[in-house]
Structure 1
Amino acid sequence: MKNILKTSALAFLFLASLSCENDDQTIATAKGGPELLTPLDGSSYVLTPDNAQNEATTLVWNHADYDVQTEVNYEVQTALSGTDFTTIVSAGTTTSRFMVLTVEQLNTVALDLGINPFQATDVDVRIKSSLGSNTSLEAYSNTIKITITPYTTDLPKLAVPGNHQGWDPPTAPLLASSGFGETDFEGYIWLDGEFKFVERNDAGVFEWGNTDYGDDGSFSGVLAEQNESNAIATAGYYRVKANTTALTYSTTLTNWAVTGSGTPNGWPDNGVVDHNMTYNQTTKKWEIILALSGGNEIKFRANDDWALNYGDTGADGLLNESGDNIAVPASGTYLIELDLSNPRAYTYTLTPQ
């Protein structure tokens, strides 16, 4: 009987202890959201790629109130103004009460929101707070409005589908303009018969049904959008230009060669011939294996003429039309490759053999 009483007493004390522990627990509740202090409502940002890594802005906010001393998660949320955050783009998360955004980071947020480059657009910004993954403890700050003018470093493109690739706009070679908003497209393409020019649609896709251009029927370099004919070129590698504002286009057949004091034949001014390169249809590069002499120079030129030639101004591996001569690093045999397949981003390589 004594054992039963002792066991009952211990059980009672254990249950009482648990009850006391539960009474001491604090239930976290979200009493108030954070308060966004900076930037000021109405701030404006015109972003440029020249200072992409510089600070664009720093967001600062007060603590959210959860009735407990614990680490709080914060997310900077953005949305197009007037949309009530229907579509949210996150600028990042942190457990601090501030976030530094670089020009590049803020530009990415703006483009992800669907803002057109170089167009000033209003954006709503707020802070969301939470504890862990418990969505019932979310709270939100006040909303401020800022104006962002983003940029893009992508050049506008124009597709050139045709016989040379199966009339498939999404996989067609591209021309690029000289800058955003410009319509002076250029690039190098292997053509073989009929072709056309196709613009992107609103979703950024090249496909039939978008604005497309052909020849006006005179085959004199005039583009037409309505009642057009397919342009035509005999098989070969062409420098292709098209201006969709002036409605003009041109195709210049090119065959490429290496020349210069670093080559066995020297500069062509002495009456010698260039070292002709061969076009590789698989790699889309012009190539030649050639012995070069160190301390001398080379250049690339088309059609045995200086009217179209490329050098490397700045020695950065990027080709510039009529640019500086290219220094030969050391004497030896090289695989020389000329890559004109990326419009307005032409490159070359010298690979020792």
Structure 2
Amino acid sequence: MKRTIYAIMAAISIMAVSCSKDGETLIATVTGDGTQIGSINDDIVLDIDHPASLALTIWWDELGNASLSNPDAQFADNFVVNAIQFSATEDFADPVETVVDNDAAAVQFTTAQLNSIVTSLGIESGTSGTVYIRMRTSLGTGAGAEETFGNSISITVTPYFIDMSFITLAGTDGTSVTINAAPEEGTYAGFASIPSGWWNFFFNEGDGTIWGTVPDAGAFVLEEKSDMSSWNSWFPEPSGCYYITMSTADATWSATAITGATATLSGSEAVSMEYSSAHNAYTAVLNPASGDISIYVDLEGTLYDSTNGDGLGTSMSLVASGSSLAVGEAGTASGISSTAAGTYTIILYLSDMTWELAEGEVDIDGGSEDPGIWPEDPDYTVASSDFLYLFNLVDGDPASVAGRLGRTSDGVYEGFQYLGSWQNFKFGDSEDPAAAKIYGSVPANDAGALYRLYCGEDMFNIWYDSADAACLYLTADLNERSWSSTVISSISLVGDFNDWDASADVLTFDPDRRTWSAVVTPGSWGEYGIQFYINGSWEWKYSPDGNGRLVRAENSAVPEVPVEEGRSYTVTLDLNDPAGMTYTIEEYKGSTGDEYNEFFYMFYSWTTEGYWQERLASTLWSPGQDGVYTGFFSTADSWDAPYAQFTFGSVAEPNSGTKYGLDNNTAIVEGGGSNGWTDNLGLYEITASLADMTMSQRYLGKPAVDTGSGNRVQMAFNMTGFVWEATCTFNAGDSFTITAGNDGKTYTFGGSDGVLTDGGTGIAVAAAGTYLVQVDLGNASHLTYTMTLQ
């Protein structure tokens, strides 16, 4: 054991010391033999597409500490320093370290954080490298402080290239656009096609740094965010072409909505340019009478920034240098000239800021509804059915109906739909998938391909491109071969009773029931009744229409359910079926306290953003529905993801309902947190409490078949059927139990008729032979076994 000794005087600022007499010299000693660390992660390939996902978890037995010769003296909180060290060499000659909280029991690193560390160690992007990790403990941070070190572990990491040449505007609806870096470090500027008005997004730099809006500071003031979950930035209306600037140094951004663009031959009238959102490009046809005529390209727009939140008219020009374009002062000649008399099309490609002067009239969108960048789709037809159905998929094939959209005009379908994170689906024009015309997405990786509908046999799945499950408003425009989604962030009940205040009575979404509700005390519905505003917009609203139905309407209406002064009512909306959206108004009986479901669900989960849930791992049971659930969790025989990590959910379907992660592998976090993990491979008893939001686990080893005569056959976990199994030979009249236990707890399962019970009598063997014994511990309320004669 190493000892570090210091003479510590009472005047030293890093300690607060209470002494029995002045001038006492205190001796500080590092205790222990160094902190022992561990991790379930050993071979990590970092994915640039998921910078905020969890990549590495390190835990430890007990952090290094110190003791004083005078037990009445006290340390300052930061006197003992514990830091995780990373090194590319086993001798830790040049480590990178991260100081950890002295109260923590584990530390986690996101993909972006680990990538930055590994890159700084000199490991090349795309190349697998070994990284050594240990814990360093020291007294204070001064030079020459002696240190102790714990055990060293090693992992293999493949980093990705950090490209700071652009910044991504990552939409909360799953869409994204990019703009390029400007010459000044930490600044970005460029044109982008914004998909919708009031589009919500976060700025995401190449190194994974996330920027969003400072709460209550205005839409154009930014701050760094830990993830993309709150206080995003947003664009004003309308959609279309915007010139965007962003400065990390000033923590601000601006958006100029381009309202018009013209191309002018010197001495001639201006020609309006047409905008192609598919190509983020402007075009105009020009007819110069000769060569060498200068062309002016001018843009008009409305500037929104931290000083002009309501918009300010502005103008700019585009100026060429070689084949490149740059933004210049209004009225500046572009530097582009005609080469000869004739007809030309000037094309300004704003994504990469290049230009082209093409001979003749050129339609960059292909002259039809099908831009040339998409593959041909001869099987495509526009549906004429009353509904367009969303299908759940099995191996990419439509299997069951997840929901439906209603026809609002020829070829256009709309409706509300709840989708889980990254949920895959396809559209069809019949509820029978075998008879339906199926619509997937274009089999391409180009920008926008996900939102382009396609009927060819090589179609890709459609998916909701977000880690966060949400209630959405879907629009499928089959005429335009496109679909889109809008996240429903709020529904407000407004009326005479609350002065039409959209912030007064906001409904809450229940992902389990997929309904919206609020408790209100209206007194009276008033003369004009009520309406429901979607996302706070008075332009998107629904009104009562008799018989408990809701319709999209301009005017409000008085509900058919009367209310009384002084009484409260629960208002509930069910928007799931476009043919029958409903509302109910029932007298509020008061809270009966927390109500818990009978079951709580565990899922095997990937270490991706939003912890993608691969499949159901276990159904935990609360017989008394008191919020405390118990059950069993089985891991794979290796640490390979996702079958050794887990999260929770309120419903049995992965990535649906309310998802729960963990903080520090013990605290349950609704809608957040990270994956849970186990220290060993095998069977665990899990206790999860929604009453106090905690989780605990007990390792039970691996179950075994016990014949009662000292003969125990260890079972293995079958990852195909997700059952424990062993092959055993019995005589007629034998009996056996299934045992599992460790850490002071042992289960002995007996049973009959295929049902296991803890403490039950032995399972009888009717006929001699060799049997495959399989045990399913996945549902705590119904444990089962099978015996198959071999």
TM-score (norm 2): 0.22
Query: Which structure shows the bigger proportion of residues in helix conformation?
Result: 1
Query: Which structure shows the bigger proportion of residues in strand conformation?
Result: 2
Higher normalized contact order (CA 8 Å, seq sep 6+, divided by chain length): 1
TM-score (norm 1): 0.45
